[in-house]
Amino acid sequence: MDVQKLFPPVFWWHEARFNFPEVRGALIMDDPHTTSGAPRAAKVTANESGMTRRIAHLDMDAFFASVELLRYPELRGQPVVVGGGRSAIPETLPDGTRRFKRLRDYAGRGAVTTSTYEARAFGVFSAMGMMKAAQLAPDAILLPTDFDSYRHYSRLFKAAVVTFTTQIENRGIDEIYIDVTDLPGEPAEIGQRMKDAVRDATGLTCSICITPNKLLAKIGSELDKPDGLTILTMDDLPRRIWPLAARKVNGIGPKANEKLAALGIHTVGDIATADVAFLQANFGRTYAAWLAWLAQGKDERPVVVTSTPKSMSRETTFERDLHPKQDRATLSSKFTDLVQARRRRFAAQGLCGTPGGNQAALRRFLHGDARSDRAGRNRRCSGNSPRRHGVPEADHAEPVAACLLGVRASALSVRGEGEHFSEPVQVELPFDDA
């Protein structure tokens, strides 16, 4: 079995909203409350044959950091942050020992890729700015990222799971959904066998939750990390799910969480006890319906074995600000590298973009201001296969320095499929107008 075909290279894209039946008229027809106003758990979801579904979510524990600990076992038990560049490569001393960089030595505007659980105890988490992380944990070990290794171990753990079933949905480099409904054995036994297989194949631990649906499986895989095995049924909602903070649910972002908190809704249980009409008045019919469903643990989404990503993006953050004119050659070279990397990913997955579906953006910092004016200063170009990127004029203002360059392709499709496929068209943006 070709594991690379089953699990092609992974890209970042937004997960679709949870599906739920269209609710027409008042939501009272599917009110998640009993007549006394107390929340009640939803009915157990079943598949077409009537058998109760068993959906697992497998999430590798601190994946990137754990891969690095395989390489540097002497760092086990220490706070380690992954996210440095080449300057963070450890130095090998004459006696064979290594000298590691400390987070306090970092200077730049990069972000934390991941951190060990010991570093997380200091408040250092993925996507946090490295400079902020250095303030929280200055003595943490700093390591460079090595995505080739991460992809290698990603293929290894997924290949181990394929030996049980091919009913697997690839959700990222370190997580998958698995439909284990038809596998023999009790959920705990199935989960433990998968965990053992992953450890044998990679030397790494993972956390697995098996539940009747993807919503609960995703939430549950975080409950007993690291190296957790969690089994949840609908009867466990009041005890294990409703006490959780609302923001723990995938789909409730920072803005929605802030609005919920302002309304006095802080936990999943608070959502379950909230009046549906009240949710409708504050969030609209669609989102209110989704909130009501999630509070009941409802989710009928299937495990999607094959899918085409809707968009792909790559970006790079500069160690120093680059000027549109003075650093034109550097910007052009970096842009070319990004587009060529994206093109290789396209070829690996047999994908293509559509005319007008490609964008390039420079994110700029205004003079004397550390804030990024994304709305006014992002510059985009359209076309199907841009090879060079010129920096457009800055609204007749003085050119300002750029801190980040990115490319994004959207409206993707499988090459050769569909009636509207067209060959790439080369376009360029002018450099000389900056």
Q: Is the pTM of this model over 0.75?
A: no
Domain annotation covers residue 419: no
Rounded Cα distance between 156 and 381, Å, is 38
Can you give the pLDDT at residue 108? Answer: 83
- Same domain membership, residue 337 and residue 276: no
How far is C-alpha 140 from the chain's CA centre? 24
User: Rounded distance, CA 83 to CA 57, Å?
Assistant: 26
Q: How far apart are CA 412 and CA 58, in angstroms?
A: 27
Domain end call among 295, 326, 343: 295
Write the DSSP symbol of residue 164.
T
CB of 351 closer than 8 Å to CB of 413:
yes
Is 88 within 8 Å of 79 (Cβ atoms)? no
> Same domain, yes or no, for 169 and 242?
yes
Decide which of 241, 262, 295 is a domain's last residue: 295
Residues ≥6 apart with Cβ < 8 Å to 427? 381, 382, 383, 384, 386
Q: Which of 175, 258, 319, 419 is catalytic?
A: 175
244 assigned to some structural domain: yes
433 in a structural domain: no
Number of domains in the chain: 3
Flag whether 434 is in a domain: no
Contacts of 13 (CB under 8 A, 6+ apart): 309, 310, 311, 312
Active site residue 175: yes
Instruction: Based on the fold, state whether residues 278 and 141 are members of the same structural domain.
Output: no
CATH code of the domain in which 27 resides? 3.30.70.270
Sequence-separated (6 or more) residues with CB below 8 Å from residue 123 = 136, 137
In a domain, 123, yes or no: yes
pLDDT of residue 38: 41
pLDDT at 3: 58
Q: Where a domain ends, among 260, 295, 330?
A: 295
Say yes or no: 193 and 241 in one domain: yes
Which CATH number goes with the domain that contains 88? 3.40.1170.60
* Helical segments of 208-327, H only: 214-220, 254-262, 268-273, 276-283, 285-295
**What pLDDT does residue 433 have?**
47
- Judge if 78 and 55 occupy the same domain: no
In a domain, 208, yes or no: yes
* Cis ω for the linkage preceding 399 (within 30 of 0): no
Range of the domain at 270: 3-61+151-295
Q: Do 188 and 272 have their domain in common? A: yes
Token pair in block for residue 14: 């937004």
Tell me, yes or no, whether 260 and 283 share the same domain: yes
pLDDT digit of tens for each residue in the chain (434 aa)?
Answer: 555 555 554 433 333 333 333 332 223 233 333 333 444 444 445 555 446 899 999 999 999 999 999 999 999 999 999 987 888 899 999 998 999 999 998 988 788 999 999 999 999 998 899 999 999 999 999 999 999 999 999 999 999 999 999 999 999 999 999 999 999 999 999 999 999 999 999 999 999 999 999 999 999 999 999 999 999 999 999 999 999 999 999 889 999 999 999 999 999 999 999 999 999 999 999 999 999 999 999 999 999 987 666 677 777 766 667 777 778 888 788 778 887 877 777 777 666 665 555 555 555 533 333 333 333 333 333 334 444 444 444 444 555 666 667 777 776 666 655 444 444 444 454 545 44
Helix %, strand %, coil % for the chain, to 5? 35, 20, 45
Q: What is the CATH number of the domain that holds 401?
A: 3.30.1490.100
Question: Does 19 share its domain with 91?
Answer: no
Residue 262 is assigned to a structural domain of this protein:
yes
Q: Are residues 167 and 291 in the same domain?
A: yes
DSSP string, 324-356: TTTTHHHHHHHHHHHHHHHHHHHHHHTEE--TT
Same domain, 173 and 273: yes
Residue 423 placed within a domain:
no
Shared domain for 279 and 211, answered yes or no, is yes
Task: Based on the fold, state whether residues 9 and 156 are members of the same structural domain.
Answer: yes
